[in-house]
Amino acid sequence: MDSMNLPQYDKKGKLKFDDQTPFWTRMRYKYLSMYFLKRAALVVFRLVLLIGISYVVIFPYISKLSSSFMSREDFVDVSVKLIPKYPTLDTYKAIINDNKYIEALTNTAMISIACGFIQMMSCALVGYGFSKFNFKGKGFLFACVILTMVVPHKTLQFSMKMAFQYFDIWGIGGFLKKAFGSADGAAYIANLYDTHWPLMILSFGAVGFKNGLYIFIMRQYYKGVPDELEEAAYVDGAGTLKTFIRIILPMSVPMLVTIFLLSFSWQWTDNFYVTMFYNAKTNVFFPQIVNTIPKSLDTRYVAQAAYETAIRNTSGILVLAPLIVVFLFGQRYLIQGIERTGVTG
Amino acid sequence: MDMTKTSVNVDTKPAKTKKKKGKSLEKNKARMGWFFVLPFVLGFFFVYFPMIVQSLQFSFSDMERAAGGGGYQLTWNSFKNYNYALFEDTEYLKILISSLKQLVFDIPAIVIFSLFLAIMLNQKMRGRAVFRAIFFLPVIVSTGIIESIDLQNTLASAMGEATTTTGAGGSGASGANIIQAIDVQKFFASMKIGTQLVSYVTGLVNDVYNIINRSGVQMLVFLSGLQSISPAIYESCYMEGASAWETFWKITFPMISPMILVNAIYTIIDSFTTESNEVMKYIINFNDGRYTAGVQAAAMSWIYFVIVIVIIAAVAGVISAYVFYQRRD
């Protein structure tokens, strides 16, 4: 009987298992080896680390979410940590009703979709131009792209505001206006403050928020596309533009989705351009919603700071909720797309 | 007869046109290149470039509302605004120096952390896609508005804690309060390492939420780099009996070094231009719409901007001396 439990060795000295080997022996030799223990320790270590980091990333959002359902009584109660004792939807209702949330949502959605689409197209065009064509001044132009990446728009804030409030192209428009004796005598073409023009002009010109990065990503991606593909199209009689529209664009849909999602979501959570280019009274956007405490919620009592924080976080959740839905749908494209660029030096 | 005629035609015609087309195709392609980059050329030279020039001009001028109707008037005042920013403003220089110090610590931490994460997420395991999505989430979510909410919350809690006793831990401003830096400090103190290193590490631990939030894009760039390393190299290493440690330093690290350059520069740009950067915050708050504040803010941002460019050039110069480029032919 005892010899049955011992493992059998074959001629090469290797462990031999057959149908006769008892279950526990098999298990012992499979799982009680140093090799397995080492690997198991590694896997556990990795899992603990990853879950820990994920927890750090996600916890603030969970806590925000839970505090958004709390009523004002919960904030004075010391025993309440994450699960509210008196759950309520009043905070959500107040923000949606008092703060013109729906108006801000539609405004932001419109702008974000427009910006995302236009930036996607213009950056794809420019990226393709930089990757597949040789022309004089290409190096210089690409240095300009890097420059737009390095100079943050926020440091140009003042002149950007002025540039669009007194919009003009190199002073030519104002000069012509003066020369022809225009009625208002202003030395600029038009006041674009509180219109959609500034954002659209920036997007069309591929100089909007982080567009340098998008151009760079598209350029890297198109560099990886084999030239033979286009040559085949040329031989078949297609022009450059036709090749781009019929062959290159359909092929690069994952990358285009990536660019669209990045630009869409950065425009969605943007509080710089919308506060600079729009008058808060006529065009409502998310920043105002976040910055005002709804009137119907009375916050003046003991735990005012905590309650107001929770209200702000709730408006943050209302801002993010539509974005998270978009992100969940596009997540696969997004991450694959960025990985596929293979940004090599 | 017919057959030979056509064959002759077919033979000669392409040869002729090919020679002619070779030149025109190249010219045509160059023209089309300009056509493709046209949006950027227009945007840069008609919108962006004037803005940069104007901002520079503002920083050297006094500004007031023009007498007749709209518009503004500039008068040259040489270095007055710069003088104000550097010597008269009490806060600016202090904030600038402290934020630069902070960045010296943050940038290596972010690059190393994202490399570490990328290596971990490059291994095959269950739930990899979920973890990647979670780690990339902050890139999308924690910018702009949400960042400003968090800033307001930390301000509010700093003011509120002195006067009120709050019950619920519902502030949720950051996950920083989960981690107690005191334990880490004790741990390192007992190991008898220099106090500077200890304070650096505890600083990082306290700031872990911030660092994770800022390393999403870098992680993906490293991942793409790791995936472009040919598995054959690792295989031959394994055959030669190299340990995992040696493989990392001899193979992975050199192969990934171009990405380290890219990421270091990206991190610098990113952390210099976010709203939570102290200097950016100061400049943005300083510029409250008055014309004098506007031109002074322009001067401040130009000082800042020049410093950023110098740092980027220095970092790029130092790292690119050590970068290893694989030759591909």
Going from the C-alpha of A337 to that of each of A73, A112, A218, A230, A251, the distances in angstroms are 47, 20, 10, 22, 12
Ranking A115-124, A200-209, B22-31, B89-98 by mean pLDDT, the lowest is: B22-31
**CATH number of the domain located at residue range(s) A100-292 in this protein:** 1.10.3720.10
Residue B68 has a pLDDT of 58
For residue A211, the chain B residue with the least C-alpha distance is B40
Please answer yes or no on whether B52 and A151 come within 8 Å at the CB atom.
yes
Residues of B in contact with A261 (CB under 8 A): 140
Q: What is the DSSP letter of A190?
A: B
| pLDDT interval class at B163 (50, 70, 90) | very low
Residue B287 has a pLDDT of 72
Domain edges within chain B: 87-152+178-322
Find the helix or strand (DSSP H, E) in which A234 lies: helix A227-235
Per DSSP bridges, beta strands B72-76 and B61-65 are: antiparallel
Residue A6 has a pLDDT of 60
- Does residue B11 register a pLDDT over 50? no
Q: Per the structure block, which two tokens stand in for B173? A: 């401003």
Residue A120 has a pLDDT of 92
Q: How far apart are CA B217 and CA B221, in angstroms?
A: 6
Of A84 and B37, more confident = B37
Ranking B104-113, B213-222, B238-247 by mean pLDDT, the lowest is: B213-222
Residue B50 has a pLDDT of 84
**Model pTM score:** 0.77
For residue B207, the chain A residue with the least C-alpha distance is A56
Residues of B in contact with A152 (CB under 8 A): 269, 272-273, 280, 305
Domain edges within chain A: 1-27, 100-292
Residue B14 has a pLDDT of 46
Please answer yes or no on whether A81 and B169 come within 8 Å at the CB atom.
yes
Q: Select, from the ranges A300-309, B223-232, B275-284, the one with the highest average predicted confidence (pLDDT).
A: B223-232
Angle of CA points B4, B5, B7, to nearest 5°: 65
Of B192 and B86, more confident = B86
Of B154 and B244, more confident = B244
Q: How far apart are CA A54 and CA A47, in angstroms?
A: 10
- Find out if CATH 3.30.360.10 is the number for domain B87-152+178-322: no
Q: pLDDT by residue (tens digit) across B295-315?
A: 888 888 888 888 888 888 898
Q: Per the structure block, which two tokens stand in for A13? A: 């000295």
Please answer yes or no on whether B165 and A141 come within 8 Å at the CB atom.
no
Residue B182 has a pLDDT of 60
Q: How far apart are CA B105 and CA B90, in angstroms?
A: 25
Mean pLDDT (10-residue bins), chain A, 345 residues: 57 66 77 82 88 84 84 75 79 83 90 93 92 86 84 76 78 70 63 85 87 85 81 86 87 83 88 85 82 75 76 86 83 66 45
Please answer yes or no on whether A162 and B72 come within 8 Å at the CB atom.
yes
Q: Are B159 and B233 in contact (CB under 8 A)?
A: no
Q: Per the structure block, which two tokens stand in for A150? A: 């390095």
Please answer yes or no on whether B69 and A304 come within 8 Å at the CB atom.
no
Could you give the 3-state DSSP secondary structure of residue A225?
coil
Neighbours of A273 (CB within 10 A): 20
Residue B319 has a pLDDT of 86
For residue B69, the chain A residue with the least C-alpha distance is A186
Going from the C-alpha of B268 to that of each of A267, B218, B321, the distances in angstroms are 22, 11, 18
Q: pLDDT by residue (tens digit) across B119-152?
A: 888 888 888 878 888 888 888 777 778 877 877 7
Q: What is the DSSP letter of B194?
A: -
Residues of A in contact with B325 (CB under 8 A): 345
Residues of B in contact with A130 (CB under 8 A): 36-37
B152 → closest Cβ in A126, A160, A312: A312
DSSP per position, A52-110: HHHHHHHHHHHHHHHHHT--GGGGT-TT-SSS-SS---HHHHHHHHHTTHHHHHHHHHH
Q: pLDDT by residue (tens digit) across B171-201?
A: 444 444 444 556 666 666 677 667 777 777 7
Please answer yes or no on whether A58 and B58 come within 8 Å at the CB atom.
no
Q: Per the structure block, which two tokens stand in for B89? A: 């403003």
- Does residue B215 register a pLDDT over 70? yes
Q: How far apart are CA B307 and CA A296, in angstroms?
A: 48
**Residues whose CB falls within 8 Å of the CB of residue B219, separated by 6 or more in sequence, listed in order:** B114, B117, B118, B121, B135, B136
> Residues B160-168: what's their mean pLDDT?
42
Neighbours of B41 (CB within 10 A): 19
Residue A154 has a pLDDT of 74
Mean pLDDT across chain B, nearest whole number?
Answer: 75
Q: How far apart are CA B257 and CA A153, in angstroms?
A: 30
